[in-house]
Amino acid sequence: MFQLYFYPYINAENDIDGFQSKLINEFDADFLYDITYSSKSQSPQRFSSQILSFDSKSLNYFKFDHLNELPTYMATFWKKQTKGTGPMRQFQAKVKPKIFFKQKRVDSYTQETYYVLNFEPIAKVDKSKNHESLKDYTNNNMPNEELSSSAQNNIVNLSILDKVNFHTSLDLHIEMLVSEPQKMNSHEKLQYQIFKAKEYLEEAIMLGVERVYLLHGVGKGRLKDELAIMLKSHRDVAGFKNEYHGQFGFGATEVYLK
């Protein structure tokens, strides 16, 4: 089962300011995914990466007020197999406030509160089938076929092209990431910068890139410190350093990927 977990951010007035979403993979298999988030007032955001079995991936952060704008996640998943991938399967998840707040959970270990939303498969309804067993439902909605050899070759060729065009540095200055940074508070800016850094690293890892640079500037060093915390716990980061660089000075962290 694919799920979304939403972790609330509590502001200084002890109110919920917004939610950080996470993709949860409860299958005993690895998947590639492509997810688009949209709401009535926000421009679509797209997330493409891979997720391991029983793992999680951070997606986007959205404000509490956006709950009334029908936030929707449209997702496509491909099961990773020894040779290529299985066929794509499409899912959607719509955040509806009346249902959303009934799905409250509390982590028994951390005591952290979060909300749960299931991804529902997008499939044509066959009216000739009045009943479908749980076994049939699972078989019909789980990828278990391999791509043809020609399709696999297309994926390989696309990956090579993507790697050639991939930029080995990411500018994390907030004005380079969003069009209207003045509408975000300092917490939102930092959280979004860390999210974009994670997203960038996942793309680099998928393409087999061995070294990248995260450009954070000098400033007070808060972003640099938060990046260091994230990099230390990242399973695919072999190491990193923040030393003087001929092109970036002291305002960049050099990251080595496994």
Could you give the CA distance from residue 164 to residue 159 in angstroms, rounded to a whole number? 9
In angstroms, the CA 238 to CA 231 distance is 9
Quote the DSSP letter at residue 42. Answer: S
pLDDT at 179: 82
The answer to whether 201 touches 253, Cβ cutoff 8 Å, is no
Question: For the segment 30-77, what is each residue's pLDDT rounded down to a tens digit?
Answer: 998 889 999 887 778 888 888 999 999 999 998 898 998 899 999 999
pLDDT of residue 154: 44
Among residues 77, 81, 89, the alpha carbon closest in space to that of 51 is found at 77
pLDDT above 90 covers a percentage of the chain that reads: 35
Give Cα separations from 151 to 95, 101, 155 (angstroms): 34, 42, 6
| 80 pLDDT tier (thresholds 50, 70, 90) | confident
Per-residue pLDDT at 9: 92
pLDDT at 155: 41
pLDDT band at 244 (very low <50, low <70, confident <90, very high): confident
Please list, in sequence order, all residues whose beta carbon lies within 8 angstroms of the beta carbon of residue 199, skipping any fewer than 6 positions away. 47, 49
Q: Which domains does the chain have, with CATH numbers?
A: 2-147 (2.60.40.1600), 166-257 (3.30.1370.110)
Q: How confident is the model at residue 109 (pLDDT cuts 50, 70, 90)?
A: confident
pLDDT band at 145 (very low <50, low <70, confident <90, very high): very low
| 111 band by pLDDT with thresholds 50, 70 and 90 | confident
Strand runs labelled E in the chain: 2-10, 16-25, 31-38, 45-51, 56-63, 72-79, 89-94, 104-106, 113-118, 120-121, 169-171, 211-215, 237-241, 252-257
pLDDT in the model for residue 232: 93
Note the pLDDT tens digit of each residue in 205-228: 877 788 999 999 888 889 999 999
Query: Is 246's pLDDT higher than 90?
Result: no
pLDDT of residue 23: 95
Please state the separation of Cα 188 from the chain's center in Å.
16
Q: How many helices (H) and strands (E) does the chain have?
A: 6, 14
Q: Which residue has the higher pLDDT, 69 or 131?
A: 69
What's the chain's average pLDDT? Answer: 82
Q: Give whole-number Cα distances, 111 to 14, 115, 209, in Å.
A: 17, 13, 38
CA torsion, ordered 216, 220, 225, 226, to nearest 10 deg: -70
- pLDDT at site 136: 54
Residue 143 has pLDDT above 50, yes or no: no
Is beta strand 2-10 parallel, antiparallel or unpaired with respect to 16-25?
A: antiparallel
Sign, CA dihedral 39-45-46-51, equals negative
HSE, CB side, 13 Å, CA atoms: give it for residue 142.
15
Q: Report pLDDT for 86.
A: 79
Give this prediction's pTM: 0.51
pLDDT value at residue 214? 94
- Residues paired with 121 in a beta bridge: 91
